[in-house]
Amino acid sequence: MAMTDVLSAEDIKKAVGAFSAAESFNYKKFFEMVGLKKKSAEDVKKVFHILDKDRSGFIEEEELKFVLKGFTPEGRDLSDKETKALLAAGDKDGDGKIGADEFATLVAES
């Protein structure tokens, strides 16, 4: 499954482009711009599974670094600071990774 099966290619391009500058990533604005906030719980889960590259059932810190590339190959890598901030926001149980339910909560909170 591709990200464009769930989200509009135009929205993805705009959202990723808005955060192309280093240290500019804001997950709340990004999820809203990319249209994820308006999607069903099922669609949010689909996006989670696309971002979970190693299919572990979690998005770990290493995968978060490439979260924008998960939406489009043109996306940039997040900085360590941005990656840690995203992990801190999403990791509700403190296990160092983001599960599907935590991801859904993270999107809903944005």
Model confidence at 103: pLDDT above 90? yes
Which CATH superfamily groups domain 3-109? EF-hand (1.10.238.10)
Residue 95 annotated as binding site: yes
Q: What is the pLDDT of residue 70?
A: 96
Pairwise CA distance, residues 94 & 81, whole Å: 17
Residue 56 annotated as binding site: yes
- Read off the pLDDT of each residue in 45-52 and give the average, rounded to a whole number: 97
Residue 101 annotated as binding site: no
Residue 80 annotated as binding site: no
Q: Would you list the domain boundaries of the chain?
A: 3-109
Q: What is the pLDDT of residue 110?
A: 82
Full-model pTM: 0.95
- Read off the pLDDT of each residue in 10-36 and give the average, rounded to a whole number: 97
3 state DSSP class of 98: strand
Residue 24 annotated as binding site: no
